[in-house]
Amino acid sequence: MGQIYYLGGSPCCGKSTISKMLVDKYDFQYFKVDDFLNTYIEKGAKDGKPLLSKVSKMTLDELWLRNPNIQNEEELKMYCEMFEYILADLIIKASDIPIVAEGAAFLPNLMKKIGISQSKYICMVPTKQFQYEEYLKRPWVPHYLRGCGNKELAFENWMQRDYLYASVVLEDARKLGYHTLVVDGTKSIEENYLAVEKIFKL
4-22 pLDDT, tens digit each: 999 999 998 999 999 999 9
**Beta-strand (E) ranges in the chain?**
4-9, 29-32, 99-102, 121-126, 179-183
| 202: pLDDT strictly greater than 80 | yes
Query: 73-94: per-residue pLDDT in tens?
Result: 999 999 999 999 999 999 999 9
For 176-181, what is the mean pLDDT?
98
Local confidence band at 147 (pLDDT 50, 70, 90 cut-offs)? confident
Closest CA to 163 of 25, 69, 26: 69
Query: 94-108: per-residue pLDDT in tens?
Result: 999 999 999 999 999
What is the pLDDT at residue 94?
Answer: 92
Closest CA to 123 of 196, 61, 191: 196
| 1: pLDDT strictly greater than 80 | no
Query: 150-164: per-residue pLDDT in tens?
Result: 999 999 999 999 999
105: three-class secondary structure by DSSP: coil
For 184-189, what is the mean pLDDT?
95
Q: Yes or no: say if 106 and 31 are a contact pair by the CB < 8 Å rule.
A: no
For 24-52, what is the mean pLDDT?
97
Query: 59-76: per-residue pLDDT in tens?
Result: 999 999 999 999 999 999
| 171: pLDDT strictly greater than 70 | yes
Mean pLDDT of the chain: 95
